[in-house]
Amino acid sequence: MVEFTKKGTLGSILAASRIITETDVQAALEEQARTGCRLGEALINMGIVSQEDVDWALSNQLDIPFIRLKRDLIDLDVIALVPAAMARTFTCIPLFLAGDELNVAIDDPLNRTAIESIERHSGRRVSISVALSAEIMEMIHECYGPDRHENLGFESSAFSVSVLELINSDLSGAKLLDCLLITTLKNQLCTLSLHSLGSRVQIRGRRATGSHEIGTLSSGYFPAFARNLCTRACIIPDEDSVSSGCFGFEYRNRSFEFHVAIMRAPAGDYITIRPRIPERIPERLADLDLVQEQRDAFCLLARAERGMTFFASRAKQERNRSMELMLGEAETEGKTVLVLGEGVGWIKNRFPRVPLPDGASERARLITAALDHDPDILVIEELNEELSLAAACRAALRGVRVLAGLDVRGTRAALRHLQYQQQDIPLSQCINGLISFKGVRCLCTECRIEYTPTAEELSVMGLEQLPDTFFRSNGCDACGESGFRERRVLMDVLPFDDELRRIFRQTGDAVALEGYLSRNCHGIAREGLRLLNEGELSPEEYASSVMM
């Protein structure tokens, strides 16, 4: 049997590693006594440590390797040495034989009962590696097949016994996802989040008044649920740390859209799902709610023959639709327009498109290669990296008109982002202007009610004169229980004049830039304040989406 190089309990090892304190150990022991869970699970569930903390401490202090479990690490010929029931009971899986020694991946290397049981049954000496329980359970399901008594492991007091049985019988997680979406709509949740806490995945719902737990899921089936969700949202699994997408859902003869955001982590993805409010971005500039000053500035930028105009927003759809508006106002007859990206031009499908590659150097090469085709107008869906920006600058200096998207939120943030990129790039000579967007959710007029903001909300809004009445909403059938009628896009249109170019070149002069913007850039702030005064925005929405 394997001999540990360090003796002691998990709590003493974590304390010796200075990851937790004796107070933390005592609190976790009380939680363990209350719930019957293991000490490590108690520490993770209480938020004192992460699964990575536990794995790191065990692998370092016990001199046991920590591995990221993959299918190609497992020799199928040794699977039979450990029965499926034993593997599931002890959350372990055999990896390979080295002579008469069986290497086993396990989530709890201090579980001597598990190691001794495996040795007795296999007749081999056991050496162990530490792996995440979610990855072990996924490999157990793949290598041993489904257990006849296996279920999804979803537990919740929000559903009846019969519904829980239906959910747990579908190991793909599809029925669970449908039930969670219905719960989101019925309870007017603004977000639904799922994140791994040790051997369980916590599912929480959030409303304006706070968040609460909906239920928990066995972490072993979380990957299957995440894959199902990615398929629904057309998200391609890759190595990116963050990704997002949208999907439709039918409920009570109505169609709803949901947005899903994923942050990847070793212990399991962090997933947030939110109902998507319908956007109102018209197809013509004339239908866009712009004051005459902004409309004139937009048309001025559209008529430019060369140089670069940037479109800044965290939402790709907002950037793309607004670039379409500018193409609609620009003179494109008899000109070559080339689009790099897949979103721009989807409405009219008038211009050729080439997908943007993922890597920064590959994007830069594609932009440079596009110049060989002599475009008059080059549209680049996303242009954030320095290499790509330099290639786009070269295009603009050669007389090509460039429209480029920035994955940055807010006018000030976009300008700062561009300022810091200009050290080795003659950016100030190329820029014609910047158009930035902020999306706001307008209240449903059927269910909005009068509301008195808190002192904190009033402080964040910083209003010189308060509206006569503030509103927020409760949700109703007319808005699909969301509380919102539509999502509108507010816009700043900022052409570059000589003064702004001079300030832009002075990277460190934040005071001068702020002064210029306060005198010349009012679109988002002015329109947001108007919507607040007219009862279209709640104080919460105004503070979080307009002011921040």
CATH code, domain carrying 29: 3.30.300.160
Residue type, 412: R
Please report which confidence band the pLDDT of residue 283 belongs to, taking 50, 70 and 90 as the band edges.
Answer: low
CB 357 within 8 A of CB 363: yes
Q: Is residue 151 part of a domain?
A: no
Please report which confidence band the pLDDT of residue 2 belongs to, taking 50, 70 and 90 as the band edges.
Answer: very low
Q: Which residue has the higher pLDDT, 243 or 37?
A: 243
The pLDDT value recorded for residue 127 is 93
The answer on pLDDT for 37 being more than 70 is no
pLDDT digits (tens, 9 = 90+) for 96-134: 999 989 999 998 887 888 898 899 889 899 999 988 877
Of 241, 258, 275, the one marking the end of a domain is: 275
Mean pLDDT lowest for which of 32-46, 73-87, 374-388, 430-444? 32-46
CATH code, domain carrying 187: 3.30.450.90
Claim to verify: residue 179 and residue 56 sit in the same structural domain: no
d(CA 149, CA 84): 12
Tokens linked to 494 = 């900022």
CA atoms 212, 215, 216, 217: torsion sign: negative
The pLDDT value recorded for residue 239 is 54
Q: Is residue 155 part of a domain?
A: no
d(CA 82, CA 92): 9
Q: Is residue 399 part of a domain?
A: yes
Nearest of 322, 474, 477, 472 to residue 406 by alpha carbon: 322
Q: How many CA atoms lie within 13 A of 116 on its CB side?
A: 4
Beta bridge partners of 259: 246, 274
Burial pattern 391-427, b for ≥16 Cβ within 10 A else e, equals bbbbbbeeebbbbbbbbbbbbbebbebbbebbeebeb
Residue type, 545: S
Claim to verify: residue 108 and residue 32 sit in the same structural domain: yes
Pairing of strands 307-312, 270-275: unpaired
Beta bridge partners of 390: none
The answer on pLDDT for 154 being more than 60 is yes
Let me know if 176 is exposed, middle or buried by CB neighbors in 10 A (0-12, 13-18, 19+).
buried
Claim to verify: residue 361 and residue 498 sit in the same structural domain: yes
Please report which confidence band the pLDDT of residue 5 belongs to, taking 50, 70 and 90 as the band edges.
Answer: very low
Q: What is the mean pLDDT of the chain?
A: 83
The pLDDT value recorded for residue 481 is 65
Claim to verify: residue 128 and residue 173 sit in the same structural domain: no
The pLDDT value recorded for residue 96 is 94
pLDDT digits (tens, 9 = 90+) for 56-66: 676 766 778 88
CB 115 within 8 A of CB 1: yes
Q: Is residue 154 part of a domain?
A: no
Q: What is the rounded average pLDDT of the residues 408-430?
A: 85
CATH code, domain carrying 497: 3.40.50.300
Of 259, 275, 291, the one marking the end of a domain is: 275
The pLDDT value recorded for residue 536 is 92
d(CA 55, CA 14): 10
Claim to verify: residue 284 and residue 382 sit in the same structural domain: yes
Claim to verify: residue 297 and residue 443 sit in the same structural domain: yes
Claim to verify: residue 285 and residue 419 sit in the same structural domain: yes
Percent of the chain with pLDDT over 70: 91
d(CA 10, CA 27): 14
The answer on pLDDT for 348 being more than 70 is no
* CA distance to 310, 312, 407, per residue, from 404 (Å): 5, 9, 10
Please report which confidence band the pLDDT of residue 521 belongs to, taking 50, 70 and 90 as the band edges.
Answer: confident
Let me know if 242 is exposed, middle or buried by CB neighbors in 10 A (0-12, 13-18, 19+).
exposed
CB 401 within 8 A of CB 418: no
Q: What is the rounded average pLDDT of the residues 516-544?
A: 89
Cβ-Cβ contacts under 8 Å for 507 (sequence gap 6 or more): 419, 420, 422
Tally the domains of the chain: 3
Alpha helices per DSSP H over 145-213: 161-169, 174-186
d(CA 259, CA 245): 6
Claim to verify: residue 174 and residue 127 sit in the same structural domain: no
The pLDDT value recorded for residue 43 is 79
Beta bridge partners of 242: 263
Question: Distance from CA of residue 504 to its chain's centroid?
Answer: 31
The pLDDT value recorded for residue 192 is 93
Of 144, 178, 194, the one marking the end of a domain is: 144
Q: Is residue 492 part of a domain?
A: yes
Q: Is residue 255 part of a domain?
A: yes
Please report which confidence band the pLDDT of residue 52 belongs to, taking 50, 70 and 90 as the band edges.
Answer: low
The pLDDT value recorded for residue 149 is 65
Q: Is 501 helix (H, G, I), strand (E, B) or coil?
A: helix
In the chain, what is the greatest distance between 2 CA atoms, to the nearest angstrom? 84
Claim to verify: residue 455 and residue 416 sit in the same structural domain: yes
pTM over 0.85: no
CB 264 within 8 A of CB 240: yes
pLDDT digits (tens, 9 = 90+) for 227-282: 888 888 878 766 567 888 888 888 877 778 898 999 887 767 899 998 877 666 66
Residue type, 105: A
CA atoms 71, 72, 75, 76: torsion sign: positive
Q: Is residue 152 part of a domain?
A: no
Q: What is the rounded average pLDDT of the residues 516-532?
A: 89
Nearest of 286, 417, 382 to residue 392 by alpha carbon: 382
H or E element: which one contains 314?
none
d(CA 285, CA 282): 7
Claim to verify: residue 284 and residue 269 sit in the same structural domain: no
Burial pattern 377-387, b for ≥16 Cβ within 10 A else e, equals bbbbbbbeeeb
CB 442 within 8 A of CB 311: no
Q: Which residue has the higher pLDDT, 291 or 123?
A: 123
Claim to verify: residue 400 and residue 543 sit in the same structural domain: yes
Domain that holds residue 201: 161-275
Nearest of 261, 275, 269 to residue 195 by alpha carbon: 269
Please report which confidence band the pLDDT of residue 6 belongs to, taking 50, 70 and 90 as the band edges.
Answer: very low
Percent of the chain with pLDDT over 90: 25
Claim to verify: residue 240 and residue 287 sit in the same structural domain: no
Q: Is residue 3 part of a domain?
A: no
